[in-house]
Structure 1
Amino acid sequence: MQKKILVTDGIAEDARKILEDKYIVDLKKGLSPDELRKEIKNYNAIIIRSATRLTSDIIDSAENLVVIGRAGVGVDNVDVKTATKKGVVVVNAPGSNSVSVAEHAIGLMFALARKIPEADYSTKAGKWEKSRFKGIEIEGKILGIVGFGKIGYLVAKKG
């Protein structure tokens, strides 16, 4: 019998297509905890993001569940202790969004240096205060990075 995967928070289209080559994949977003508790019984695996919480009672009701896949870094929304006790493997994707987070951090730094949020607000209010929002140039500045994990490293490399 073909294995079934429940996806509750959406995943990339390419990833879904790869899974569909070997498994039955059902996308069901926005399930309430009660709906999820009833639905999860029919699946061998579940892929979640941060919007879905897998509590002990939901995991306990998952009779056929073998693996919980967290499309993202943390597993704070999964009762790992209960899953482990039931023999359900919990996996995540550490570093999967490191590039996005590093680029976002760099983008925010540029926006703040050039006072883009303030200028946007002022312009939307019908004002034109060009000289007030010059900001500072980044050229020649030194950036101090606190912490040098994957994201800090990428900020240093890209910045």
Structure 2
Amino acid sequence: MQRIVIAEFMDAAAVERLRAQHDVHYDPALVDDPARLFDEARRARALIVRNRTQVRGELLAALAHCKVVGRLGVGLDNIDVAACEARGIRVIPATGANALSVAEYVIASAMLLLRGAYASTAEVAAGRWPRTALSNGRETAGKTLGLVGFGAIGQLTARLAQALGMRTVAFDAMMDAGHPAFAAARTQPLGLEALLAQSDVVSLHVPLVEGTRNLFHAARIAAMKDGAVLVNTSRGGIVDEQAVAGALRAGRLGGAALDVFDAEPLAASPHFEGCPNLLLTPHIAGVTAESNERVSGLIADRVLEALAP
């Protein structure tokens, strides 16, 4: 039996599948205890993480016997992939397993922010009747969804949006206009600036790399269509958070849903306090009961394959 260390939460059934064949140390709090994490890493043949465990530097050096790192999610910016590969460590993301959860989050956020009618519970329950103030919401049908990044999640989001009567356009720096994915998803390819000018909702689906860091800075946010909604489920470093808050307060943005932040967990952020039409969630767009089962099951299977004789 080989030692598998799981440093963040994982579906119980998948953990038991690993335990049936190997020696498993499962502790979702391990990510917050570096000393114990490094100690466990020294004995690990496999390490399984989510997005908070930083597999680089001192932790990577401790993985002296590790063969595989399983990532319970898609983004790999918390893992030094090149350094892992140089040490003979295979890195396995759960590609595709949480796509539906992210796509549904985008559509739900867009619908909520466009309509703008779902924050009145306390007023109505108190006997007030803000009907006039809430009668200018917007319908989803007929609006344009702009997808920045058009991989598997972007393409699935496009299909869900079209079912609601939305037009979809997309920009992807890695795809030319003739890429078959655009035609297959019935989505018009556009340059980034044209997409921003046309889109009622802009959703980000790009990895955090040097070319995308601070991609949505103040000037780019200002170039968005008046009243547009911004949804970020990719990585926090892609968006200037203070610029988003400023655009919301000025009425330039019609709404924003941010699930990811430059530093996580997000510290107290005065620029967000009292900000209108803002949804903040703690990096859970891709995490549902169903997606956790799919992600955990996929990684369990792939780690078992990697550890097989």
Aligned to 2:160: 158
Q: Hey, which of these two has a bigger chunk of helix by percent?
A: 1
TM-score of the superposed pair, with normalisation by structure 2: 0.46
| CA deviation string 1:105-144 (max 9, x = no partner) | 00011101221454357558874312311312334x1323
Aligned to 2:140: 138
| CA deviation string 1:57-87 (max 9, x = no partner) | 2122222211111111122112223322221
Distance 2:125 2:56 in 1: 44
Taking only the aligned residue pairs, the percentage that are identical comes to 29
The answer to whether the 8 A contact 1:37-1:58 is kept is yes
Residue type of the alignment partner of 1:155: T
Aligned to 1:84: 85
The answer to whether the 8 A contact 1:56-1:82 is kept is no
Distance 2:50 2:125 in 1: 35
CA separation of 1:151 and 1:127: change in aligned 2, threshold 3 A: farther
CA separation of 1:158 and 1:125: change in aligned 2, threshold 3 A: same
Aligned to 2:17: 18
Residue type of the alignment partner of 1:107: A
Aligned to 1:7: 6
TM-fit CA distance, 1:22: 1.6
Aligned to 2:27: 28
Aligned to 2:234: none
TM-fit CA distance, 1:100: 0.8
CA separation of 1:120 and 1:97: change in aligned 2, threshold 3 A: farther
Residue type of the alignment partner of 1:72: G
Aligned to 1:61: 62
Gaps (5+ residues) in structure 1? none
Distance 1:7 1:13 in 2: 12
Aligned to 1:114: 115
Displaced runs of 4 or more, over 4 A: 120-127
**Aligned residue-pair number:** 157
Aligned to 2:176: none
Gaps (5+ residues) in structure 2? 162-309
Distance 1:89 1:27 in 2: 20
TM-fit CA distance, 1:20: 2.2
The answer to whether the 8 A contact 1:102-1:154 is kept is yes
2:48 match: secondary structure: strand
